[in-house]
Chains A and B, each alone.
Chain A
Amino acid sequence: MKVEISTEKMHAGFLMKLKGDVDMNTSPDVRSTLSDVFKQATPGAKALFIDLSQVRYMDSSGIATMVEAMQTCMKQGMRLRLVELSPSVRDVFELARLASVFEIFPSLTEASAGL
């Protein structure tokens, strides 16, 4: 299964929505879209939100892509906020204790607050 990626500019920064599988095969596409987003990011951009509600499966390559996004955000003075983890992604994050590393929010409204 492939991944569908959409991005949109928001008041506080950018929103990326992922749908499908984020794995070894699809991670390169996500990475290259992320890199385009970071190129567009102006100094005013506060955060990158990634909506994971439609992600069916995420493997370690997919997680590495999220880690890299977070590291790039930090370098650019932005926050990475993961929004609405699908049940399977939530399982992976809980099992690997990733919840303490990422900022995770149940909805975009909550993720946008306090920026």
Chain B
Amino acid sequence: MARESEISRLNHKIKRLSTLIEVNTLISSSLDLDRILENVMTISKQVMNADASSLMLIDEKTNELVYQVALGAVGEKLKQEFRLKMGQGIAGAVAQEGKPLLIEDVYSHPKFYRGHDEATGYRTRSMIAVPLKVGDRITGVAQVINRLDGDAFDRDDLELFIALCSMAAIAIDNAKMHRSLMEKQRLVKDMEFARTVQESFLPQKTPEAAGYSFSAHYTPAQEVGGDFYDFIMLDNGRIGIVIGDVSGKGVPAALYMAKLGSDLRTLAFTEADPASALARLNDLLAERSRRGMFATLLYAELDTRSGSITISNAGHLPPLVKRADGSVKKIQSTGGSPLGILSGMKFGQEAIGLEPGDTVVLYTDGIIEAMNAREELYGYERLEAVIKKGAAEPHAQKAAIIEGVNRFTALSPQHDDLTLVCFGRIP
């Protein structure tokens, strides 16, 4: 008799071990978190011969246990309606203390939280709750409830379920890491895409107009930024020249910029002058304002026939003009506030004459605020000095400014987009 019972005990053990091997193969065959969770609990329910099973993971933000899988008659209701705080109920206590619990009669256990049964009409009798652990870190709790044969769970069941949960915990952790890695990769791809989209909105070439020369430079920062510039070929020998900077960085700034750029292209043709184009553009942006986003923007119309430029400046940095005599002057315009904040704003504009040999420099704060290793800013004085010293011809002027900034920042990482537009009348 003793030998038979020994054989039966060993057979039972072999069966459980082969089940565990099977379980391990099944749960480690996927990296899909949802599938693993579902698999783990379906197998647990079968292997443990349980009426219901559930798995909760700790929400790191709220430190609450959240149902991921709940199998059984009232599983769906549980999943939708219940969260447990640390220490609350049996699962909460197991998550807090990190020790498994085998409970033969649940209603006599002081930690049992009757809320679930009362809300679902289910009657919990016996259960096992085991913490999901990776090293010392507790990531959740798995439970099996009520043996189907009506008996209470025993120590054998506990041992098996602990083994099963230790494999599940590792598989779940791997899948979570895989998921976050995939998300990061997707984010990087999205960023790269956003940058190509953004750059595709910038002009591919500079305008050609007899007696004038145009040059532009754009270096994006590591993240997608919100700088932009544009040249718009209007009628009667007029050319629209735009430079701007959208608040913030990343995809939202790039999308805002794209919309703003295309709106301004339309308004440049339909509105009478730069000031009214900006007033209209401001209203369009303010009407659909999101998260306080706004843009500083300067719009200038150059009349290549007369050499006159009309400038309207919406909160953008003042342009610098280098005259043929070598003097450099900031154009402090009446303009107005940045675009997209309040609708109904009025914008001023001023006209200046461009003589042969004069050059205008438009730029964004990426130039003024370029920082070196000693955390000093490039600033206006340095920019003005470079412009004064350099050649007046726009291409040479642009190259000298960029070289000046690069020499100043040396190897320090570039935090903001660097955008520069130079144009002038050929002597």
Contact = CB atoms under 8 A, between A and B. Distances in A.
A interface majority secondary structure: helix
Nearest to A63: B247
Nearest to B369: A59
Contact of A71 (B246, B292, B314): B292
Among A24, A60, A69, A101, max chain B CB count under 10 A is at: A60
B231 interface: no
B341 A96 contact: no
A61 interface: yes
Interface in B286-332: 289, 291-294, 296, 314-317
B interface majority secondary structure: loop
Interface residues of A, number: 19
A96 B296 contact: yes
Contacts of B335: 97
A112 interface: no
Given A64-B294, A69-B292, A95-B317, A100 B248 contact: no
B315 A97 contact: yes
Nearest to B346: A100
Interface extent on B, as a size class? 20 to 34
Interface string B227-259: 000000000000000000111110000000000
Interface in A22-62: 24, 31, 60-61
B315 A98 contact: yes
A61 B248 contact: yes
B342 interface: yes
A61 B247 contact: yes
Contact of A64 (B248, B316, B317, B342): B248
Given A97-B315, A100-B336, A100-B337, A64 B292 contact: yes
A31 B290 CA distance: 13
Interface string B255-298: 00000000000000000000000000000000001011110100
A67 interface: yes
Contacts, number: 61
A82 interface: no
B315 A67 contact: no
Among A64, A69, A71, A101, max chain B CB count under 10 A is at: A64
A68 B245 contact: no
B207 to A, nearest CB: 28
A50 B314 CA distance: 25
B338 interface: yes
Contacts of A15: none
Nearest to B291: A68
B315 to A, nearest CB: 4
A47 to B, nearest CB: 17
A67 B296 contact: no
Among B245, B247, B336, max chain A CB count under 10 A is at: B247
Contacts of B226: 60
Nearest to B313: A97
Interface in A79-113: 95-98, 100-101
A64 B337 contact: no
A78 interface: no
A60 B289 contact: no
Contacts of B314: 97
Contacts of A66: 292
Given A65-B292, A68-B291, A68-B292, A97 B248 contact: no
A105 B293 CA distance: 23
Contacts of A67: 247, 289, 292-294, 341
20 contacts: A60-B246, A63-B292, A63-B294, A64-B247, A64-B248, A64-B293, A65-B292, A68-B291, A70-B292, A95-B317, A96-B315, A96-B338, A97-B315, A97-B337, A97-B338, A98-B315, A98-B337, A100-B345, A101-B341, A101-B342
Given A68-B291, A97-B335, A101-B337, 14 more contacts: A60-B247, A63-B292, A64-B293, A64-B294, A67-B292, A71-B292, A95-B315, A96-B337, A97-B315, A98-B315, A98-B337, A98-B341, A100-B337, A101-B338
* A-B pairs, 4 with minimum CB distance: A68-B292, A67-B292, A60-B247, A64-B292
